[in-house]
Every structure is written in structure tokens, then in C-alpha cells.
């Protein structure tokens, strides 16, 4: 558990090992607007360039898709 809500049984961010890899989970669907409802205007990502929550989402989407290329040495 890397982030929790004090005084509750809720956790916001989990990280752990699974098989030969790892997993991470950020609770909620919009890390910069926790009260974002379906149908609300989209969050302006330009206002959150260094958001750790959005970086986590991108890392979980982009890194697994990237394949290591064999380098000529």
C-alpha cells in the first residue's frame, strides 16, 4: 500500500509483485479530479503536466506495449 485514506479501510494506490512482473493500481479514474462524474467536461491535461497519477496511467499503458529491441554492439 503506497497511499491510503486515514481513518478508513480504503487505499488509493497499490503496488506489488505478480509472477515475473509487477502491478500497480490507482483507485478512481481521474487522479486530478477525484469528483469527476460521467458526462462532466474532460480534464484539461495541459494543467497537470507533472501529475504522478497521469504518469502512472501512461506508464502502465505504454511500458507493457514497448518491446526491447536487440541492439547491435
Q: Pseudo-torsion of CA 43, 49, 52, 55, nearest 10°?
A: 90
8 A C-beta contact, residue 14 and residue 25: yes
| Dihedral sign for Cα atoms in the order 16, 8, 3, 51 | positive
Answering whether pTM is above 0.85, one says no
Average pLDDT by stretches of 10, the chain with 73 residues: 73 81 73 76 80 70 66 78
What is the rounded CA–CA span in Å between residue 6 and residue 27?
A: 15
Tell me what pLDDT residue 47 has: 81
Q: How far is CA 13 from CA 23, 39, 40, 56, 70, in A?
A: 11, 25, 24, 10, 34
Amino acid at each position: 500500500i503506497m497511499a491510503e485514506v486515514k481513518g478508513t479501510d480504503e487505499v488509493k494506490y497499490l503496488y506489488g509483485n505478480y509472477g515475473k512482473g509487477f502491478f500497480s493500481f490507482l483507485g478512481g479514474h481521474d487522479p486530478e479530479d477525484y469528483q469527476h462524474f460521467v458526462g462532466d467536461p474532460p480534464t484539461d491535461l495541459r494543467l497537470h503536466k507533472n501529475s504522478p497519477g497521469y504518469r502512472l496511467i501512461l506508464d502502465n499503458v505504454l511500458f507493457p506495449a514497448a518491446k526491447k529491441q536487440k541492439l547491435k554492439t
